Amino acid sequence: MKDFIFAAVFAFQFLTRIPVPVLIEPREPIVRKALICFPLVGWVLGLILYAVWWLLNATGKCSPVTIAVLLVTIETLLTGAFHLDGLADTFDAFLSSGKSREEKLAIMKDSRIGVMGAVALTLTLVLKITLLNELLEHTLPAAILIYPAIGRWAQVALYVFSPYARERGLGLIFSSAANKKALVYATLILLPCFTLPISLPATFLAAAYLWVFRGYVHKQINGITGDVLGASTVLSEIMFLLGIVIFS
């Protein structure tokens, strides 16, 4: 139980900017259990966002689009734009034509943002805000609680089914610790989301998209990186939200 608590703290420490009481070192037993806790981190983020929606909605003063913008803003602050940075770096690299695998990996490490990364980031934020606005207009706020957990589960799935493309880094420790048992436990943490029946087909849509994205990533760099995992989180969330809108 003590190791699991440490693992949960480490997962929050790694995935968010939420203050944690202690600094946990990434030892392998902790890292393996932390992977299981990734969707749990998503649930906590979703709970915070849902509480923000409830408070703003209760005032009766904010339109759905205003609330949607505020939710994305607060989510970005809670995560430190961690995953959005990965998304921009990923598409800067992948959409640079004529580059070798090594060159694409080097582009990902460059802290500067290029045109393709900026375009991908802008379109992603606009799409996410639009989908949240659609959900709120159709009175489906429960999806706000769920979609962050889906995004963090996507990371676990990629860790299990993809090799790590770099020879060092914290992501390599996660990749070495990942196994199908960890994915099963992480999936079990998702089960409460299916109390909203429409979330089942939306989750299947997100998972199907993730598998296609995985194939695309493997063609580009023969594996995954931390930036790719960040991109997969954001894109899986969007596909889940899109599924909710479509199937509703």
Q: Give the pTM.
A: 0.95
pLDDT number for residue 30 = 81
Distance CA 39, CA 92 (A): 27
Q: What is the mean pLDDT of residues 51-58?
A: 96
Q: Is the pLDDT of residue 101 over 80?
A: yes
Q: Is the pLDDT of residue 73 over 90?
A: yes
pLDDT number for residue 174 = 86
Q: What is the mean pLDDT of residues 16-26?
A: 82
Q: Is the pLDDT of residue 210 over 90?
A: yes
- For residue 197, give Cα distances in angstroms to 175, 201, 214, 236: 32, 8, 27, 18
Where in the chain are the domains? 2-247
Q: What is the mean pLDDT of residues 148-177?
A: 90
